Amino acid sequence: MKLIHAFIPGKPIPQGSVNVYGGRVVSVKPELRKWRDSIRAALLAKHPGEPLDGPLSVSLVFQIRPPQKPRWHLPAVKPDADKLTRAVFDALSTTATQQGVITDDARITSYSAAKVYHHTPGVFVTITQQEAP
Protein backbone atom coordinates (compact mmCIF):
# COMPACT_ATOMS: atom_id res chain seq x y z
CA MET A 1 0.00 0.00 0.00
CA LYS A 2 1.35 3.43 -0.95
CA LEU A 3 0.41 6.55 0.98
CA ILE A 4 1.03 10.18 0.04
CA HIS A 5 0.17 12.89 2.57
CA ALA A 6 0.79 16.64 2.39
CA PHE A 7 -0.52 19.99 3.59
CA ILE A 8 -0.67 22.66 0.90
CA PRO A 9 -0.99 26.15 2.40
CA GLY A 10 -2.98 28.86 0.67
CA LYS A 11 -6.53 29.95 0.10
CA PRO A 12 -8.47 27.00 -1.36
CA ILE A 13 -9.82 27.98 -4.78
CA PRO A 14 -12.95 26.29 -6.19
CA GLN A 15 -13.16 25.02 -9.75
CA GLY A 16 -16.47 25.28 -11.53
CA SER A 17 -17.61 23.35 -14.57
CA VAL A 18 -15.61 23.70 -17.76
CA ASN A 19 -17.19 26.19 -20.13
CA VAL A 20 -16.92 25.61 -23.87
CA TYR A 21 -17.87 28.38 -26.30
CA GLY A 22 -17.75 27.74 -30.02
CA GLY A 23 -15.62 24.62 -29.51
CA ARG A 24 -13.05 26.48 -27.38
CA VAL A 25 -12.43 25.83 -23.70
CA VAL A 26 -12.48 29.06 -21.72
CA SER A 27 -9.16 29.68 -20.00
CA VAL A 28 -8.69 28.91 -16.31
CA LYS A 29 -8.47 31.86 -13.94
CA PRO A 30 -4.87 32.65 -12.87
CA GLU A 31 -5.64 32.15 -9.14
CA LEU A 32 -7.04 28.66 -9.83
CA ARG A 33 -4.05 27.76 -12.01
CA LYS A 34 -1.66 28.90 -9.25
CA TRP A 35 -3.61 26.89 -6.61
CA ARG A 36 -3.56 23.72 -8.72
CA ASP A 37 0.15 24.20 -9.51
CA SER A 38 0.99 24.50 -5.81
CA ILE A 39 -0.96 21.30 -5.05
CA ARG A 40 0.75 19.43 -7.89
CA ALA A 41 4.23 20.62 -6.85
CA ALA A 42 3.76 19.72 -3.17
CA LEU A 43 2.52 16.22 -3.96
CA LEU A 44 5.14 15.56 -6.66
CA ALA A 45 7.78 16.50 -4.05
CA LYS A 46 6.35 13.74 -1.83
CA HIS A 47 6.03 11.24 -4.72
CA PRO A 48 8.46 12.11 -7.55
CA GLY A 49 8.23 8.71 -9.31
CA GLU A 50 5.73 7.26 -11.72
CA PRO A 51 2.13 8.39 -11.20
CA LEU A 52 0.01 6.07 -9.08
CA ASP A 53 -2.30 3.85 -11.10
CA GLY A 54 -5.11 1.55 -10.01
CA PRO A 55 -7.78 2.02 -7.35
CA LEU A 56 -7.13 5.03 -5.11
CA SER A 57 -8.73 6.54 -2.04
CA VAL A 58 -8.40 10.28 -1.39
CA SER A 59 -9.09 12.29 1.76
CA LEU A 60 -9.26 16.09 1.66
CA VAL A 61 -9.58 18.51 4.57
CA PHE A 62 -9.94 22.12 3.47
CA GLN A 63 -9.01 24.74 6.05
CA ILE A 64 -10.95 27.94 5.43
CA ARG A 65 -10.07 31.20 7.18
CA PRO A 66 -12.99 32.02 9.53
CA PRO A 67 -14.90 35.29 9.20
CA GLN A 68 -14.88 37.70 12.15
CA LYS A 69 -18.37 36.60 13.17
CA PRO A 70 -19.03 33.11 11.81
CA ARG A 71 -22.69 32.14 11.63
CA TRP A 72 -21.93 28.48 12.43
CA HIS A 73 -19.02 26.62 13.99
CA LEU A 74 -18.33 24.92 10.63
CA PRO A 75 -18.00 26.67 7.23
CA ALA A 76 -21.44 25.85 5.82
CA VAL A 77 -20.84 28.62 3.28
CA LYS A 78 -19.25 29.05 -0.14
CA PRO A 79 -17.00 27.80 -1.62
CA ASP A 80 -18.78 24.50 -2.22
CA ALA A 81 -16.89 21.37 -1.12
CA ASP A 82 -17.48 19.66 -4.48
CA LYS A 83 -15.91 22.55 -6.41
CA LEU A 84 -12.93 22.64 -4.06
CA THR A 85 -12.55 18.87 -4.55
CA ARG A 86 -12.72 19.21 -8.35
CA ALA A 87 -9.75 21.60 -8.33
CA VAL A 88 -7.64 19.20 -6.26
CA PHE A 89 -8.52 16.16 -8.38
CA ASP A 90 -7.50 18.00 -11.55
CA ALA A 91 -4.22 19.02 -9.88
CA LEU A 92 -3.49 15.38 -8.99
CA SER A 93 -4.07 14.02 -12.49
CA THR A 94 -1.54 13.57 -15.26
CA THR A 95 -2.42 15.49 -18.43
CA ALA A 96 -0.93 15.64 -21.93
CA THR A 97 1.27 18.56 -20.81
CA GLN A 98 1.93 17.92 -17.08
CA GLN A 99 2.84 14.97 -14.92
CA GLY A 100 0.62 14.43 -11.94
CA VAL A 101 0.76 12.20 -8.89
CA ILE A 102 -1.95 9.90 -10.29
CA THR A 103 -2.58 8.75 -13.84
CA ASP A 104 -6.21 9.89 -13.95
CA ASP A 105 -8.82 11.02 -11.43
CA ALA A 106 -11.03 8.21 -12.76
CA ARG A 107 -8.81 5.92 -10.62
CA ILE A 108 -10.30 7.46 -7.46
CA THR A 109 -12.78 4.89 -6.18
CA SER A 110 -13.56 6.58 -2.86
CA TYR A 111 -12.99 10.00 -1.36
CA SER A 112 -13.95 12.18 1.56
CA ALA A 113 -13.89 15.95 1.73
CA ALA A 114 -14.41 18.25 4.69
CA LYS A 115 -14.29 22.00 5.28
CA VAL A 116 -13.17 23.37 8.64
CA TYR A 117 -12.40 26.83 9.95
CA HIS A 118 -8.73 27.44 10.68
CA HIS A 119 -6.43 30.46 10.77
CA THR A 120 -3.97 28.66 8.46
CA PRO A 121 -5.87 28.18 5.18
CA GLY A 122 -4.96 25.31 2.89
CA VAL A 123 -5.75 21.66 2.27
CA PHE A 124 -4.55 18.37 3.73
CA VAL A 125 -4.40 15.73 1.00
CA THR A 126 -4.00 12.02 1.68
CA ILE A 127 -3.85 9.57 -1.23
CA THR A 128 -3.90 5.84 -0.54
CA GLN A 129 -3.28 3.28 -3.25
CA GLN A 130 -5.57 0.38 -2.48
CA GLU A 131 -4.10 -3.10 -2.37
CA ALA A 132 -5.07 -5.75 -4.89
CA PRO A 133 -7.26 -8.52 -3.40
Instruction: Output the furthest CA–CA distance in the chain (Å, rounded).
Output: 49
Closest to 58 (Cα-Cα) out of 95, 14, 88, 99: 88
Dump pLDDT digits (tens) for 17-55: 665 555 555 557 889 999 999 999 999 999 998 999 999
Q: What is the mean pLDDT of the chain?
A: 90
| pLDDT bracket for residue 95 (50, 70, 90) | confident
| Under 8 Å between Cβ of 35 and 10 | yes
Residue 22: per-residue pLDDT: 55
Looking at residue 123, its pLDDT comes to: 98
**3-129: CATH homologous superfamily?**
Holliday junction resolvase RusA (3.30.1330.70)
Query: What does the alpha-carbon distance between residue 55 and residue 46 come to, in Å, rounded to a whole number?
Result: 19
pLDDT-above-90 percentage for the chain: 79
Please give the Cα distance from 128 to 110 (Å, whole number): 10
| Helix intervals (H) in the chain | 30-46, 81-92
With cut-offs at 50, 70 and 90, classify the pLDDT of residue 91. very high
Region class of 98: left (phi > 0), else alpha (psi between -120 and 50), else beta:
beta
Q: For 8-18, what is the mean pLDDT?
A: 88
Domain boundaries, the chain: 3-129
